């Protein structure tokens, strides 16, 4: 698992850089989950930990849509969003 800290700036941030963190198996997965580079500017602040080995000898567990959504909600740190997610799932 890697701990990725990144900053992003999009239309909703009014030109300000917002900082975000995520714990995922690779930097590429973090970019995919958060849509980095699709509709926002981003910069990677730090990457700590060890990326998962992606060779064909290692079975890679894919996250379900539920787990990806849960990780994204928990990564925001917004307690009301977390409570709402837990109440509806």
Backbone angles phi, psi at 82, to 5 degrees: -65, -45
> In the prediction, which pLDDT does 25 show?
87
> In the prediction, which pLDDT does 56 show?
42
> In the prediction, which pLDDT does 58 show?
45
Identify which of 14, 31, 13 has the alpha carbon closest to the alpha carbon of residue 22. Answer: 31
CA dihedral over 79, 35, 23, 9, signed as positive or negative: negative
- Calculate the average pLDDT of the chain: 82
């Amino acid at each position: 698992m890697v701990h990725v800290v990144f900053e992003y700036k999009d239309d909703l941030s009014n030109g300000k850089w917002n900082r975000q963190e995520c714990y995922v198996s690779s930097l590429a997965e973090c970019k995919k989950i958060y849509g980095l580079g699709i509709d926002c500017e981003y910069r990677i602040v730090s990457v700590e930990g060890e990326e998962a080995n992606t060779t064909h000898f290692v079975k890679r567990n894919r996250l379900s849509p539920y787990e990806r959504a849960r990780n994204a909600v928990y990564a925001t740190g917004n307690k009301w969003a977390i409570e709402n997610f837990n109440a509806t799932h």
